[in-house]
Structure 1
Amino acid sequence: MSRIRVTMGRLRGRWIETRPDLPYRPLPARLREAFFSHAGPTIEACHFMDGFAGTGLMGIYALSLGASHVVFIEKDPRVARLLEQNLRRLGLADRTDVRVGDIQRVLTRPPAVPMDWVFLGPPYDFPTPRLEAVLERLVRYDWTRNDARLGVQRFKKSPAPRATGWTLYGTLAHGDDVVYLFQRTAESFGSSGIRESGSSGIRESGSSGGSGSPPSGGRPCGLRPPNRSVREHPDGTGFAETFHR
């Protein structure tokens, strides 16, 4: 048994139990912190989904940062048992729903409340067409709000998935991993898939997180617009953050 320490939020300093012999791949620490720094206050009071959850690292971070409820989806029963043990030990079980099974089948049963944020961390070899089908089901089966955000972890050489109802607005990249960032859109894209929100991007080297404030009014976790400026300040870490305008 090994452990990963939580480094953000009210659970900072607590440990998540992991098992190296089980088939899951946690998001590297730098990208994990960059993702939640980007999300910022939009995590507070939100409904969050951790798909391909493994031992629940991303969902537990969301809860640590104030998410009101998290749905975890994990196919492997052994991993799901360890996830449930982590949730009980951290006192989080009453704010979570663990669903065990193939994610495409699980998504045919929508939650009582749609998600504000979704994170998907499939295996490197998970076929892109199947991943795109998952994105489409998040819309078709009412898993996500009309302004929901989505992060998708992929191998750095893998293209961004394309699916009707999602607009790619940025990427977070470090080492062999990239997180593609999407927002729900009400537009219809037909069979051509997503429309990127711009062809030019601004790259940032460093681990600084998102800036700006969520819009006033609406529910507590109101999401800020995806288009934003990013200053360049290379620091040699190899981390890159790109947003489209």
Structure 2
Amino acid sequence: MRIDAGSHRGVKLATPEGHDTRPTADRARQAVFNIITHTYDAIREAKVLDVFAGSGAMGLEALSRGAERASFIESDRSAAEAIKKNIAACREQARAQLFINDALKPPRVSLNWGPASLIFLDPPYQKDLVVPALDALREAGWIAPEALLVAEMHRKDAFTAPEGFEVLDDREYGKARMVLLRHH
């Protein structure tokens, strides 16, 4: 897996060992970034949050394409080690922070980093974690008003946006379903 575009284009990313982490397919990642770049202009100077971050590919891709900074929330130790390696490979230590936390019990957002304007959520498939994660992140102050969110789930997962969130787009890529939301 590599960064697709921007200042870190071509940087090879470490992936966590084992089968507990499922990276977003390259085709789906490229499609999502095309949509959020060209339709919503949501990357330039964004404060990004990558939740259930895995390798950190989504947040690092956003940094490569012009995001201001990125925070990563990941509870798996192997995945957190991969994220650390990938942040270093991209030389983004000054603009990235990693929290080794359960996404359903995230830390409070820090005042100096502020809430995120672009959020990626990629929980394990078929566990119905998107809505509880959104509620927990909102409660912890991570979601800025008018934030754009990209939630990846299994294409067969039922999903209803919680109050305060509007579905902007809903697409399938193989087994993956990408739902774009706006927080109001």
Provide, for residues 64-87 of structure 1, a one-character-per-residue CA deviation record: whole Å limited to 9, x for no partner. Answer: 101111010001112101210111
Tell me the residue number matched to 1:234: none
Tell me the residue number matched to 1:117: 118
Opposite residue 88 of structure 2, the aligned amino acid is R
Rg (Cα) greater in structure: 1
1:49/1:118 contact within 8 Å kept:
yes
Counterpart Cα distance in 2 of 1:27 and 1:178:
11
Q: How many residues align?
A: 179
Q: Spell out the pairing of 1:64-143 with structure 2 (5 A cutoff).
A: 64-107=64-107, 109-112=108-111, 113-126=114-127, 128=128, 130-143=129-142
Counterpart Cα distance in 1 of 2:126 and 2:17:
18
Could you tell me how far 1:150 is from its partner in structure 2? 0.6
Counterpart Cα distance in 1 of 2:139 and 2:98:
21
Tell me the residue number matched to 2:154: 155
**Unaligned residue ranges in structure 1 (runs of 5+):** 186-245
Provide, for residues 196-223 of structure 1, a one-character-per-residue CA deviation record: whole Å limited to 9, x for no partner. Answer: xxxxxxxxxxxxxxxxxxxxxxxxxxxx
Counterpart Cα distance in 2 of 1:19 and 1:77:
9
Structure 2 residue matching 1:169: 3-state secondary structure:
strand
Tell me the residue number matched to 1:166: 165
1:75/1:103 contact within 8 Å kept:
yes
**Unaligned residue ranges in structure 2 (runs of 5+):** none
Counterpart Cα distance in 1 of 2:136 and 2:181:
15
Tell me the residue number matched to 1:242: none
Counterpart Cα distance in 1 of 2:9 and 2:160:
33
Q: Spell out the pairing of 1:4-83 with structure 2 (5 A cutoff).
A: 4-40=1-37, 41-83=41-83
Opposite residue 183 of structure 2, the aligned amino acid is R
Opposite residue 6 of structure 2, the aligned amino acid is G
Q: Spell out the pairing of 1:196-211 with structure 2 (5 A cutoff).
A: none
Provide, for residues 4-31 of structure 1, a one-character-per-residue CA deviation record: whole Å limited to 9, x for no partner. Answer: 1211111111111124525211111111
CA RMSD of aligned residues (A): 1.4
- CA distance 1:111–1:164, change in 2 (3 Å): farther
Opposite residue 59 of structure 1, the aligned amino acid is G
1:34/1:172 contact within 8 Å kept:
no
Structure 1 residue matching 2:104: 3-state secondary structure:
helix
1:75/1:101 contact within 8 Å kept:
yes
Could you tell me how far 1:161 is from its partner in structure 2? 4.0
Opposite residue 25 of structure 1, the aligned amino acid is R
2:16/2:81 contact within 8 Å kept:
no
Overall identity of the aligned pairs, in % = 27
Counterpart Cα distance in 1 of 2:75 and 2:157:
22
- CA distance 1:163–1:100, change in 2 (3 Å): same
